């Protein structure tokens, strides 16, 4: 059987790793094919970041409206209410526009796009089952780039029935708000939904098995998020697991390990994600580790010379922007560039209120690794712009290597932290020290000045802070 098409690169999976890599490769002049079984944009656009952030934006506005008195705006006769069907429609419309945008980019870059399930039979052969016909398409390629992503992983002993016990995809498909929601897992997805749903008026119970929420983030960030959730009416249980979940009538009965019994309309399982692969067993044996991730080297090449992989399917930080980065690194290496992946400065954002954004290594991890650190701190409460915006809760923490003064990590907890973290990412990536950044000019008035002050605080030189 001869192939229907031969490509320089064939990309399997059209999420942030796959579509970005395909466009990047096409811009570099390669002949590219791309297969996606669902819609382009992957989890992030269709079932993750973008729909969730649409809800976050409404929750944030709602919170601001509730604070209007603080801004000198009386609204005695206005009582803001969530119109969830309108909110759902808005979310769908934003997602659809973005999906269409990616389709146009794929087309505009002359990438052959296959809407169908791609099965990787061998290092030389991919078979696509197109959505539109029963006839399978066989494509050939010089290089294969696997970007098949991840899916919600669930927890042992609990069956996601997609009706009462939901995963993150299901909750974004709900067309009506539940009255009550138990969220299992206080990681990124768990806290984001706990905040959104609490603001929307849902009674939220959040259960985390570890001692604190968003345990990969700075300890003080966890505390601020937990306190904010409590102030919104959520019940948060840390160091607690689930002993039993059973369907009862139109809801779910949950027994927690602290013996508390909770009856809720719906349960959301937010306990991590697992990789997705679609390949022959013999290839799996060669490429995949015991956890299901594709094993790659620092250049994102697998054990097989013409196969590369990028994004969630290779593990590490499961973030859309890291996936995008991976995709381009893989293409560079396919083009012979010898481009090593560097994950020392991957920004991560938790879209709570305030937001938690971090990059590089945390203070706790640095200490565990035996790195002697010097920490710069600044509380957003002293910042004029933060006061003007009634957004004074938060802090900036910068971690530097004591001896060299190099900035190696940091955390920003603040309104718009997601927009500020890039300054930190740049400092870490470019191995900057106090001497490189102490006289950087930050626009005034902005909350971002707090980042500059925390950087200067490494040497006790923050102007708006007493003490050395």
Residues 6 or more apart in contact with residue 162 via CB below 8 angstroms: 170
Classify residue 403 by its DSSP letter.
Answer: T
Residues 284-323 that bind ligand NAI (CB under 6 A): 318-319
Closest to 40 in 3D by CA, of 121, 98, 118? 98
Closest to 316 in 3D by CA, of 336, 339, 291? 291
Cα–Cα dist 98/178, whole Å: 28
Residue with tokens 């893989």: 330
Cα–Cα dist 7/257, whole Å: 54
The correct pick among 13, 190, 251, 347 for binding ligand NAI (CB under 6 A) is 190
Would you say 147 or 458 has its CB closer to ligand NAI?
147
Would you say 156 or 285 has its CB closer to ligand NAI?
156
Q: What is the token pair recorded at 373? A: 């650190």
Phi/psi for 453 (5° steps) reads -65, -40
Q: Segment near ligand NAI (CB under 6 A), from 95-103, 184-192, 294-302, 454-462? A: 184-192
Residue with tokens 């481009």: 339
Classify residue 239 by its DSSP letter.
Answer: S
By beta carbon distance, the residue nearest ligand NAI is 187
Q: Is 271 in the site for ligand NAI (CB under 6 A)?
A: yes
Q: What is the token pair recorded at 356? A: 């938690």
The correct pick among 57, 87, 94, 215 for binding ligand NAI (CB under 6 A) is 215
Closest to 173 in 3D by CA, of 274, 55, 62? 55
Q: Is 155 in the site for ligand NAI (CB under 6 A)?
A: yes
CB of 316 to ligand NAI, least distance (A): 9
Q: Per-residue x/- mask for ligand NAI, residues 319 to 358, rule CB under 6 A?
A: x-----------------------------xxx-------
Residue with tokens 């015991």: 290
Q: Is 188 in the site for ligand NAI (CB under 6 A)?
A: yes
Cα–Cα dist 314/275, whole Å: 8
Q: Is 185 in the site for ligand NAI (CB under 6 A)?
A: yes
The correct pick among 189, 197, 310, 399 for binding ligand NAI (CB under 6 A) is 189
Q: Is 186 in the site for ligand NAI (CB under 6 A)?
A: yes
CA angle, 173 then 174 then 177, to 5°:
150
Q: Is 207 in the site for ligand NAI (CB under 6 A)?
A: yes
CB of 315 to ligand NAI, least distance (A): 10
The correct pick among 273, 324, 353, 389 for binding ligand NAI (CB under 6 A) is 273
Catalytic residue at 339?
Answer: no
Exposure class string for 190-203: b at 16+ Cβ within 10 A, else e: bbbbbbbbbbbebb
Q: Segment near ligand NAI (CB under 6 A), from 25-33, 139-147, 264-272, 453-461? A: 264-272
Phi/psi for 280 (5° steps) reads -65, 155
Q: Is 270 in the site for ligand NAI (CB under 6 A)?
A: yes
CB of 446 to ligand NAI, least distance (A): 23
Would you say 242 or 408 has its CB closer to ligand NAI?
242
CB of 143 to ligand NAI, least distance (A): 27
Residues making contact with ligand NAI (CB under 6 A): 155, 184-190, 192, 207-210, 215, 241-242, 270-273, 318-319, 349-351
Active-site amino acid positions: 444
């Amino acid at each position: 059987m001869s192939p229907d098409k031969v490509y320089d690169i064939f990309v399997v999976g059209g999420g942030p790793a796959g579509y970005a890599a395909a466009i990047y490769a096409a811009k570099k002049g390669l002949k590219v094919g791309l297969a996606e079984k669902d819609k382009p944009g992957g989890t992030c656009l269709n079932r993750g970041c973008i729909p969730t952030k649409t809800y976050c934006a409404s929750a944030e506005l709602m919170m601001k409206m509730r604070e209007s008195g603080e801004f000198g705006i009386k609204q005695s006769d206005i009582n803001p209410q969530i119109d969830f069907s309108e909110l759902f429609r808005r979310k769908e419309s934003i997602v659809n526009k973005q999906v269409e945008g990616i389709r146009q980019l794929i087309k505009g870059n002359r990438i052959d796009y296959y809407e169908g399930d791609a099965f990787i039979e061998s290092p030389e052969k991919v078979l696509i089952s197109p959505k539109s016909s029963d006839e399978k398409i066989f494509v050939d390629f010089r290089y294969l780039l696997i970007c098949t992503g991840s899916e919600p992983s669930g927890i042992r002993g609990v069956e996601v029935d997609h009706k009462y016990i939901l995963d993150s995809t299901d909750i974004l498909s709900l067309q009506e708000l539940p009255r009550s929601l138990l969220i299992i897992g206080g990681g990124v997805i768990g806290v984001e939904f706990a905040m959104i749903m609490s603001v929307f008026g849902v009674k939220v119970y959040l259960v985390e098995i570890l001692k604190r929420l968003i345990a990969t983030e700075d300890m003080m960030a966890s505390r601020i998020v937990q306190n904010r959730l409590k102030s919104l009416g959520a019940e948060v249980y840390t160091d607690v697991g689930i002993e039993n979940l059973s369907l009862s009538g139109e809801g779910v009965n949950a027994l927690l390990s602290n013996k508390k019994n909770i009856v809720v309309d719906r349960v959301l399982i937010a306990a991590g994600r697992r990789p997705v692969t679609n390949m022959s067993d013999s290839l799996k044996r060669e490429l995949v580790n015991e956890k299901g991730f594709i094993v790659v080297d620092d250049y994102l090449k697998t054990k097989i010379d013409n196969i590369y992989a990028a994004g969630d399917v290779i593990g590490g930080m499961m973030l859309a922007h890291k996936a995008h980065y991976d995709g381009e690194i893989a293409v560079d290496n396919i083009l012979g560039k010898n481009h090593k992946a560097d994950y020392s400065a991957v920004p991560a954002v938790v879209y709570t209120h305030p937001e938690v954004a971090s990059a590089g290594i945390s203070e706790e991890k640095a200490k565990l690794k035996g790195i002697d650190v010097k920490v710069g701190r600044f509380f957003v409460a002293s910042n004029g712009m933060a006061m003007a915006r009634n957004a004074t809760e938060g802090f900036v923490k910068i971690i530097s290597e004591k001896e060299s003064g190099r900035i190696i990590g940091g955390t920003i907890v603040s309104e718009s932290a997601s927009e500020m973290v890039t300054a930190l990412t740049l400092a870490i990536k470019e191995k900057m020290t106090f001497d490189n950044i102490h006289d950087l000019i930050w626009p005034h008035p902005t909350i971002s000045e707090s980042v500059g002050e925390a950087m200067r605080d490494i040497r006790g030189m923050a102007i708006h802070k007493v003490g050395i």
